Amino acid sequence: METRDIALTSIFTALVAATTLMVQVYIPETKGYFNFGELMVYLTALTLGPKIGAVAGGLGSALADIISGYHIYAPATLVIKGLEGLIVGKASRTLTAKTKHFKVVLALASILVFVSISTVGSLFYTGTLEWTLGSPIFEYFLSVKLESYIWIAIGVIAMIAVLYLGLRRSEIALNVFAMLCGGIEMVLGYFAYEAMIFGVAAAAVEMPFNLGQVTVGVIGATLLYEPLNRVLRGLRHEGVGR
């Protein structure tokens, strides 16, 4: 690994950890938490590839577990999030080279995004939610009341956004599909780990939260991918980036 790759890996490992720590929602049944870490794991894998995506995704997420006191999850997170970054990075590059059926992939990805947001949000994220913002040093608590119609509206907006961006560039649709592939691995990986420790019933409670993380990550990474990629391309032209 070249010096610039080591530098980028270090930077994005820190960004993954920071994003994971930024917003946390505690889940008592599994002693885990909902977070926004997927967003940065996906961005890292999409822009820097499977190797850096795997290292930054695994290490950054595991560090966040340790820093925030969720030590029991750190070993599993290292493997699960590392594989997630690897899958997203590898799939995005493989799919980008095969754009023949991208409209089918775009339609499928858009529908999956809508169904994920509207269904998971309506069933598991309605009512009053308590959010923890910040880090262990500076924490803020926020209560938010959400209704089902809000999630359906968000799902429609997200679906339209994915369709619009995907039609402009086929790469967008393929990236969304790659992120969903990585997200499935993450959800199933944590379910298996938590089932071994807490039992199947408790592990099932966290699955909707992990699906929510995937949904937030896919939407955020889709919107931020191009701006970040432009910045990294500029750095590469200057001899700083990969």
Q: Model confidence over 1-59: pLDDT tens digits?
A: 678 889 999 999 999 999 999 888 877 767 778 889 999 999 999 999 999 999 999 99
Residue 241 has pLDDT above 60, yes or no: no
The residue that leads in pLDDT, 176 or 88, is 88
Under 8 Å CB-to-CB from 216, ≥6 apart: which residues?
Answer: 36, 38, 39
Q: Which region among 52-56, 97-101, 167-171 has the lowest average model confidence (pLDDT)?
A: 97-101
pLDDT for 199 = 92
Which of 179, 182, 183, 190 is closest to 75 using CA atoms? 190
pLDDT for 208 = 82
Mean pLDDT of the chain: 84
pLDDT for 240 = 46
CATH number at residue 28: 1.10.1760.20
Residue 102 has pLDDT above 90, yes or no: no
* Token output for 19: 């994003």
pLDDT for 1 = 63
Residue 144 has pLDDT above 90, yes or no: no
Under 8 Å CB-to-CB from 241, ≥6 apart: which residues?
Answer: 4, 8, 232, 233, 234, 235
Whether 135 maps to a domain, the answer reads: yes
Whether 22 maps to a domain, the answer reads: yes
Q: Which domain holds residue 107?
A: 3-237
pLDDT for 230 = 86
Whether 242 maps to a domain, the answer reads: no
* Token output for 51: 């190797």
* Token output for 233: 């391309």
Number of domains in the chain: 1
Over range 144-159, report the average pLDDT: 82
**Residue 167: strand pairing partners:** none
